[in-house]
């Protein structure tokens, strides 16, 4: 089991890794047509791991052609659900079988602790694909309640060519949330991983092939957003873009769609989630611990991070004391060390962006009460310590904009209505939490919070059975649960006249 490996064991495994670094089109690895590559950097050390194919329009054209041909051929798209199930289960089993290697790739590529990639990212990714595999031969279509003169069959059909453009914070997991339902419903699929973290997406392509997914059904085009991403977004023969990433880029995809073939677009975008702790929370220490993990987990590079701690004034000091205690234990370390709870920021740009927000917070008059610095510079990588601001007003930049780093903004309130008002006062609506033992208050707050997920007396809990996605400018469309299948299928009504 990978989780039991020591730092030395992970390091020696890392030293022998062979990187897959090309595109995967039509069932085989190929270089970019232009021959261009880009550096894939380990953010923990600043060293180059490998050179990855930099795909552009020509490669995207090849991938779409392969995907379309596979779809038309029907080997996958018209295969019985029970058969697709077996192949996807094998795919999930292969991800599990290679979990040590995949966890290592994820950590080296992205900087997250090996403890997380081996215990969270990889097993949840395999579990997600397996869940959709198991669902696909248990989902029934419908017959409309017409009169006796007709039968109307309401069926869901695969869309055709689905392209997923994903971010770097949970590279394998965000991809799997799209791979599972898109493939289970019979589509052909093209993955465009983020340029900061393409390695696991490229590696699983051959596992998909080994599992029996036909050539052309699963393709990967690594490359930059402005080239590979835009080419997919504007392609006349892509039927759907499933996007996860920033709100800014999400809006580009709406524009690309409008200016090309009106392809379907689903958007899972940014967040600025309020974590509301009321004085009557059932366990204030548990609430404070969850608040700390809710912002420091994955270096704060989490779309639903609880980046705004909205806490009742009377209990603020007690809550912050506990947050600091967790923060002290979570000082950044070598991501390959199984004891590390906080790794490196994904790259220099992201580190500088986060440090810029810390500066902005200070300048706007928020009180920096914990952390705030770049650390471990001697390692050559990009680390930021857990950081907490107190005395934040919800109008400040650090309360309104997504920082995407381990930076918590503390805002106080006096009554539940004010807390909800502050909670809703950003452009985002991805997630929210409320802590209170008063069930009426909890229900009223959860109903009033404009967010796709509201946690009550917990933070960031969930499972594949429950949908995930945003309100407002956090996007639309849902990942996870059976609802995700709606994104990858067209609803067709076949009206059969049987009357006179």
Rg (CA), the chain: 23
Of these, 43, 123, 171, 271, which contacts ligand NAD (CB under 6 A)?
Answer: 271
CA 356 – CA 303 distance, rounded (Å): 19
Task: Answer yes or no: are the C-beta atoms of 37 and 30 closer than 8 Å.
Answer: no
CA 223 – CA 245 distance, rounded (Å): 15
Catalytic residue among 268, 301, 312, 385: 268
Pick out residues in 118-177 that bind ligand NAD (CB under 6 A): 165-169, 174
Of these, 430, 432, 433, 454, which contacts ligand NAD (CB under 6 A)?
Answer: 430
In whole angstroms, how close is the CB of 450 to ligand NAD at the nearest point? 15
CA 366 – CA 375 distance, rounded (Å): 22
268 is catalytic: yes
In whole angstroms, how close is the CB of 103 to ligand NAD at the nearest point? 19
The region of 16-24, 269-277, 414-422, 442-450 touching ligand NAD under the rule CB under 6 A is 269-277
Question: What are the respective helix, strand and coil percentages of the chain, to the nearest 5?
Answer: 40, 20, 35
Q: Which two tokens stand for residue 419?
A: 């807390």
195 binds ligand NAD (CB under 6 A): yes
The region of 12-20, 84-92, 190-198, 362-370 touching ligand NAD under the rule CB under 6 A is 190-198
Q: At what angle do helices 122-135 and 81-97 cross, to 10 degrees?
A: 170
User: In the stretch 382-421, what mask flags binding to ligand NAD with x, by CB under 6 A?
Assistant: --------------------x-x-----------------
Nearer to ligand NAD, 180 or 233 (CB): 233
In whole angstroms, how close is the CB of 447 to ligand NAD at the nearest point? 22
Of these, 27, 245, 306, 405, which contacts ligand NAD (CB under 6 A)?
Answer: 245
- The residues, any chain, with a CB within 8 Å of residue 181's CB and separated by 6 or more, are 132, 484, 485, 487, 488
Of these, 70, 104, 194, 208, which contacts ligand NAD (CB under 6 A)?
Answer: 194
Closest CA to 199 of 87, 62, 41, 348: 41
CA-CA-CA-CA dihedral for 403, 466, 105, 112, to nearest 10: 30
- Angstrom CA distances, 354 to 349, 362, 374, 427, stand at 9, 13, 10, 20
In whole angstroms, how close is the CB of 66 to ligand NAD at the nearest point? 20
CA 40 – CA 386 distance, rounded (Å): 26
In whole angstroms, how close is the CB of 256 to ligand NAD at the nearest point? 7
List, by residue number, the catalytic residues: 268, 303
The residues of the shown chain that bind ligand NAD, judged by CB under 6 A, are 165-169, 174, 192, 194-195, 224-226, 229-230, 233, 244-246, 249, 252, 268-271, 303, 402, 404, 430, 470, 474-475
């Amino acid at each position: 089991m990978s989780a039991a490996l020591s730092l030395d064991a992970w390091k020696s495994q890392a030293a022998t890794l062979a990187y897959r670094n090309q595109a995967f089109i039509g069932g085989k690895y190929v270089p970019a047509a232009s021959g261009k590559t880009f550096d894939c950097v380990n953010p923990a050390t600043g060293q180059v791991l490998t050179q990855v194919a930099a795909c552009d329009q020509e490669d995207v054209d090849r991938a779409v052609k392969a995907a379309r041909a596979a779809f038309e051929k029907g080997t996958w798209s018209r295969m019985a659900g029970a058969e697709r199930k077996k192949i996807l289960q094998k795919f999930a089993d292969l991800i599990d079988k290679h979990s040590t290697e995949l966890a290592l790739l994820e950590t080296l590529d992205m900087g997250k602790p090996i403890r997380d990639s081996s215990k969270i990212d990889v097993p949840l990714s395999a579990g997600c694909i397996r869940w959709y595999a198991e669902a696909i031969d248990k989902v029934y279509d419908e017959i409309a309640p017409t009169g006796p003169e007709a039968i109307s069959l309401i069926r869901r059909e695969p869309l055709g060519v689905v392209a997923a453009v994903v971010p770097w914070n949970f590279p394998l997991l965000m991809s799997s949330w799209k791979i599972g339902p898109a493939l289970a419903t019979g589509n052909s699929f093209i993955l465009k991983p983020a340029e900061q973290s393409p390695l696991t997406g490229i590696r699983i392509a051959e596992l998909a092939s080994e599992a029996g997914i036909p050539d052309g059904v699963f393709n990967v085009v690594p490359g930059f957003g402005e080239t590979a991403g835009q080419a997919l977004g504007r392609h006349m023969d892509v039927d759907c873009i499933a996007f996860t990433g920033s709100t800014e880029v999400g809006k580009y995809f709406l524009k690309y769609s409008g200016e090309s073939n009106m392809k379907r677009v689903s958007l899972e975008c940014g967040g600025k989630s309020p974590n509301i702790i009321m004085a009557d929370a059932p366990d204030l220490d548990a609430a404070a611990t969850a608040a700390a993990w809710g912002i420091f987990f994955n270096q704060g590079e989490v779309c639903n991070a609880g980046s705004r701690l909205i806490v009742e004034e009377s209990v603020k000091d007690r809550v912050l004391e506990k947050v600091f205690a967790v923060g002290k234990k979570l000082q950044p370390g070598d991501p390959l060390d199984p004891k590390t709870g906080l790794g490196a920021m994904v790259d220099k740009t992201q580190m500088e962006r986060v440090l810029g927000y810390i500066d902005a917070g200070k300048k706007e008059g928020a009180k920096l009460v914990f952390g705030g610095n770049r650390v471990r510079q001697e390692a050559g990588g990009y680390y930021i310590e857990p950081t907490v601001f107190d005395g934040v007003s919800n109008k400040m930049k650090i309360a309104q904009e997504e920082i995407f780093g381990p930076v918590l903004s503390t805002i106080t309130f006096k009554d539940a209505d004010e807390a909800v008002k502050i909670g809703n006062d950003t452009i985002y609506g991805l997630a929210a939490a409320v802590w209170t033992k008063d069930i009426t208050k909890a229900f009223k707050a959860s109903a009033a919070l404009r967010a796709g997920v509201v946690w009550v007396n917990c933070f960031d809990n969930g499972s594949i059975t429950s949908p995930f996605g945003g309100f407002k400018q956090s996007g639309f469309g849902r990942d996870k649960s059976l609802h995700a299948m709606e994104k990858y299928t067209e609803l067709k009504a076949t009206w059969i006249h049987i009357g006179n």
